[in-house]
Chains A and B, each alone.
Chain A
């Protein structure tokens, strides 16, 4: 079945470095993708989204890149801070279903070291 997966389960970075978290999706018909951050004991928190008609979208310290040719998403975090330590999920909304029906990957844990 269709799913969204991640390349790296754990990523360790030094404070101040840039972080890149990758995600592969399998449903080429999906046209909307979201990155979430989940801290321990909390629900997923929206970070940034992107539609399939875009290649890049920037937020505050974060950038999402979409490569539809290879069905790949990435989340770039600039100047990573200790508060960025969390599990990051990419999610897609499939073409059928809509209305908050998200397909999540397994997640990548980001550990920021001082």
Chain B
């Protein structure tokens, strides 16, 4: 059974551009959360979706948005990229228990 899959694995974008990151949760999991991990720091919560509804939002600007599809996969969108958006973006998949969180390998975004 596949774990959490994220695409792409690496991405380089220019300031001002837009980026879309994708995540497929573990089969049967209905919850997807997104985290930003800046080098040398712990992951910071961005969004959480359950059954296609937003259930939580972290302290991130409106340039960050996300959605969850009927098959429970998810996209994270970031507009007007800044250099400070360079980070590892992690997706976590969860089941019925709100204490489950299994992470994917992440997407390494570099903004130049």
Q: A91: shortest Cβ distance to chain B, in Å?
A: 8
We find that the number of chain A residues with CB closer than 8 angstroms to chain B is 25
- Can you name the residue of chain B whose Cβ is closest to the Cβ of A3? B42
Counting contact residues on chain B (CB < 8 A from A), the size range is 20 to 34
CA A64 to CA B8, docked complex, whole Å: 35
B99, A43: Cβ atoms closer than 8 Å: no
Q: A34-B101, A42-B105, A45-B103 are in contact. Are A100 and B44 (CB under 8 A)?
A: no
The 6 closest A-B pairs by CB, nearest first: A104-B42, A43-B103, A98-B98, A100-B33, A100-B94, A99-B98
Q: A43-B105, A89-B42, A106-B41 are in contact. Are A101 and B99 (CB under 8 A)?
A: no
**Is chain A's binding surface mostly helix, strand, loop or mixed?**
loop
Measuring CB to CB, which residues of chain B are less than 8 angstroms from any residue of chain A? 4, 31-33, 35, 40-45, 48, 50, 55-56, 90, 92, 94, 98-106
**Is chain B's binding surface mostly helix, strand, loop or mixed?**
strand
B48, A101: Cβ atoms closer than 8 Å: yes
- Can you name the residue of chain A whose Cβ is closest to the Cβ of B104? A43
- Can you name the residue of chain A whose Cβ is closest to the Cβ of B58? A101
Q: B109: shortest Cβ distance to chain A, in Å?
A: 14
- Can you name the residue of chain B whose Cβ is closest to the Cβ of A104? B42
CA A97 to CA B99, docked complex, whole Å: 11
Q: A44-B43, A105-B42, A107-B42 are in contact. Are A100 and B98 (CB under 8 A)?
A: yes
Q: B11: shortest Cβ distance to chain A, in Å?
A: 15
User: With a CB–CB cut-off of 8 A, which chain A residues contact B105?
Assistant: 41-43
- 12 pairs of residues in contact across A and B, judged by CB atoms under 8 Å: A32-B99, A43-B90, A43-B103, A44-B90, A49-B99, A89-B42, A97-B56, A100-B31, A100-B48, A101-B56, A102-B35, A106-B41
CA A99 to CA B92, docked complex, whole Å: 10
Type the 1/0 row for A23-64, where 1 means its CB is closer than 8 Å to any CB of B.
Answer: 000000000101010000111111001000000000000000
